[in-house]
């Protein structure tokens, strides 16, 4: 039996893949190695990773500097309990992050991934009020269409739908407000103010400027700025979930940098390690910190994970940080953003498209369809396969095809993707 067949077979017998039907999955492709924007299959074919492997890989695969940092760290200190102990990579990473986040961010709390960074943010926000013995502030505001992860708190603050249907009765209630669109700002501000006016809202959580999983839905910084401002004036904690938008994705280091009013809490993950190792980070402002400064031990933040601040992940993140701030990376982000914009403009008014949008290194094409516009739209599988046949990995969100490449992608590689997208528009 060929090695590939055997791997696929063995995988099928024992492995359960994420977001994948057990009964009728698309075939898995064994990957042997990866370099730059390419994944190399066991059969020796190369696949262009146009979605940065679920939005994590910002500097290209197997980046030598990050690989070296992980290797060096692994030979010194691979892991240590983070309660009662610390280490240089975690301290340095906290300093690095605080250096590029808004100046009022003061403390960095480590966890494991995007979902846990969100859980930490929610728990900090809830306990912030409890610690001050303010019991009336319990409600949480989120946008329609939100996605913040797959753990229970994160599911609760996310759009209710097929992904979390079996758990619906276990999720806590959230006040969902309309997703900002061109023509609903006044209504949205009105309902936000009504909620804020109850004095019962503990926190407002949002994906700044781009709702990723909802289909790369983009919205105006001005309206978000306004809502964060209202939240601040109404004593509501603002939480920016920058798990997807952080580290240059939207053209700036953080999407919140498009705002004047800054959130109290940031959730970070995905690109933080350059896409090499899992790591979650929640940062908060001095205001939040102060509610936890107490001799009363019940006011301690009792949260932690076995691998909190794993030194390998922190070392990878520090290496990724250096690369992120390098002039070449800044130039690449600008170049990709300009290319995306040019391509998006060339498609304006295309008869097969309902919308085409981009922000920074994210480009999204919303295909007009008579069927469901959800994740389960059948056009998805067709597009996925069309691109895979051309050696390009894109993973449409329903009828939304998007591109979110590693920043090292060249103009020629971008052209290959754009050609593929043009081809998709012809066949759908
Ligand atoms: C905005 C946002 N928050 C949180 C998450 C959850 O991150 P993870 O999958 O690492 O748990 C995601 C994942 O896509 C996300 O896009």
At 187-222, the pLDDT tens digits run 999 999 999 999 999 999 999 999 999 999 999 999
d(CA 365, CA 167): 31
**What pLDDT was estimated at residue 27?**
84
**What pLDDT was estimated at residue 199?**
98
Nearest CA to ligand 1 atom 13: 149
Ligand 1 pocket test, pick from 145, 148, 154 with the greatest ligand atom count within 8 Å of Cβ, gives 148
pLDDT > 90: percent of the chain: 94
pTM of full prediction above 0.85: yes
CA–centroid distance, 52 to ligand 1, in Å, is 14
The two three-digit tokens of residue 359, written as one number: 């922000």
CA–centroid distance, 152 to ligand 1, in Å, is 13
- The residue-averaged pLDDT of 233-248 equals 98
Residue 177 has pLDDT above 90, yes or no: yes
Q: Assess contact for 312 and 70: CB atoms under 8 A.
A: yes
CA angle 53, 54, 59 (to 5 degrees): 50
**What pLDDT was estimated at residue 143?**
98
Q: Which of 46, 38, 48, 44 is nearest to 2 (CA)?
A: 44
Q: Tell me: the pLDDT tens digits for 249-269?
A: 999 999 999 999 999 999 999
Three-state secondary structure call for residue 197: helix
Residue 414, class by beta-carbon neighbours within 10 Å (0-12 exposed, 13-18 middle, 19+ buried)? buried
- The residue-averaged pLDDT of 415-428 equals 96
d(CA 299, CA 288): 12
**What pLDDT was estimated at residue 373?**
55
Q: Which residues line ligand 1 (CB under 6 A)?
A: 113-115, 118, 147-149, 207, 212-213, 241, 243-244, 269
Residues whose CB is less than 8 angstroms from the CB of residue 183 and which lie 6 or more positions away in sequence, other chains included: none
**What pLDDT was estimated at residue 229?**
98
Q: Tell me: the pLDDT tens digits for 328-366?
A: 999 999 999 999 999 999 999 999 999 999 999 999 999
Nearest CA to ligand 1 atom 10: 114
Nearest CA to ligand 1 atom 4: 148
CA–centroid distance, 211 to ligand 1, in Å, is 11
Q: Which domains does the chain carry? A: 3-62+327-427 (3.90.1150.10), 67-325 (3.40.640.10)
Q: Tell me: the pLDDT tens digits for 300-322?
A: 999 999 999 999 999 999 999 99
d(CA 235, CA 256): 19
């Amino acid at each position: 039996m060929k090695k590939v067949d055997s791997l696929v077979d063995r995988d099928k017998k024992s492995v359960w893949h994420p977001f994948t039907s057990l009964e009728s999955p698309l075939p898995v492709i064994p990957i042997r190695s990866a370099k730059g924007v390419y994944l190399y299959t066991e059969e020796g074919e190369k696949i262009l990773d146009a979605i940065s492997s679920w939005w994590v890989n910002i500097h290209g695969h197997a980046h030598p500097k990050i690989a070296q940092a992980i290797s060096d760290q692994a030979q010194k200190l691979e892991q240590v309990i983070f309660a009662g102990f610390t280490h240089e990579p975690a301290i340095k990473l906290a300093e690095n992050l605080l250096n590029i986040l808004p100046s009022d961010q003061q403390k960095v709390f480590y966890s494991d991934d995007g979902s846990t960074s969100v859980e930490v943010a929610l728990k900090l926000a809830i306990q912030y009020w409890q610690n001050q013995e303010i019991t009336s502030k319990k409600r949480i505001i989120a946008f329609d269409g939100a996605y913040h992860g797959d753990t229970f708190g994160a599911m609760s603050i996310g759009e209710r739908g097929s992904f979390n249907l079996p758990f619906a009765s276990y999720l806590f209630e959230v006040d969902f407000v309309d997703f900002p669109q061109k023509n609903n700002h006044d209504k949205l501000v009105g309902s936000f103010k009504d909620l804020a006016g109850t004095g019962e809202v503990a926190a407002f959580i949002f994906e700044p400027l781009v709702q990723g999983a909802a289909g790369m839905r983009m919205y105006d910084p001005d309206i978000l700025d306004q809502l964060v401002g209202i939240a601040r004036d109404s004593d509501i904690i603002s939480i920016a979930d920058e798990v997807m938008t952080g580290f240059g994705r939207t053209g700036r280091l953080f999407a919140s940098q498009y705002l004047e009013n800054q959130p109290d809490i940031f959730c970070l993950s995905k690109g933080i390690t350059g896409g090499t190792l899992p790591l979650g980070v929640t940062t908060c402002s001095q205001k939040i910190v102060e509610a936890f400064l107490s001799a009363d031990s019940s006011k301690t933040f009792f949260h932690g994970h076995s691998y909190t601040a794993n030194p390998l992940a922190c070392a990878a993140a520090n290496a990724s940080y250096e690369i992120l701030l390098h002039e070449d990376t800044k130039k690449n982000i600008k170049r990709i953003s300009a290319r995306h914009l040019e391509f998006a403009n060339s498609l304006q008014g295309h008869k097969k498209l309902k919308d085409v949008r981009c922000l920074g290194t994210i480009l999204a094409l919303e295909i007009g369809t008579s069927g469901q516009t959800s994740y389960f739209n059948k056009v998805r599988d067709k597009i996925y396969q069309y691109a895979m046949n051309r050696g390009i990995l894109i993973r449409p969100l329903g009828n939304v095809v998007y591109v979110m490449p590693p920043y090292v992608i060249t103009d020629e590689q971008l052209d290959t993707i754009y050609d593929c997208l043009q081809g998709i528009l012809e066949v759908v």
